[in-house]
Structure 1
């Protein structure tokens, strides 16, 4: 399964492993976003919450496959 995560107008595709939580998705998406910006180290990305593109906040402790399907889009705020 893969999920597209948007940071403002920039999106990154994250391949997700079975058993991942929303928190795992946040960590992987943030890491990929930092690589995209080519700013490792002290570059800070703060995530207040994850939500569906049409609204609805996801709980970080929930299992990802219970909430999203392959090729779904979510955004980090």
Structure 2
């Protein structure tokens, strides 16, 4: 099986971990780099999803505030 191509941030992580490997023999075991990469990848996906949910929640809250009004009382049309 071939390694997937690394994105620029993943390549940077690989380079930083290479520095650690040079200084410390076996810093976290043989699978440390793979484990960090997997964690970073699922966090990247989760971050996008959570951000979308947060944005949607903010839009709903703003819409409710427009309907209800800033003081919690329903808005009324002014009488002429």
Q: TM-score, normalised by structure 2?
A: 0.28
Greater Cα radius of gyration, structure 1 or 2? 2
Q: Which has the higher strand share?
A: 1
Question: Higher RCO, 1 or 2 (CA under 8 Å, sep at least 6)?
Answer: 1
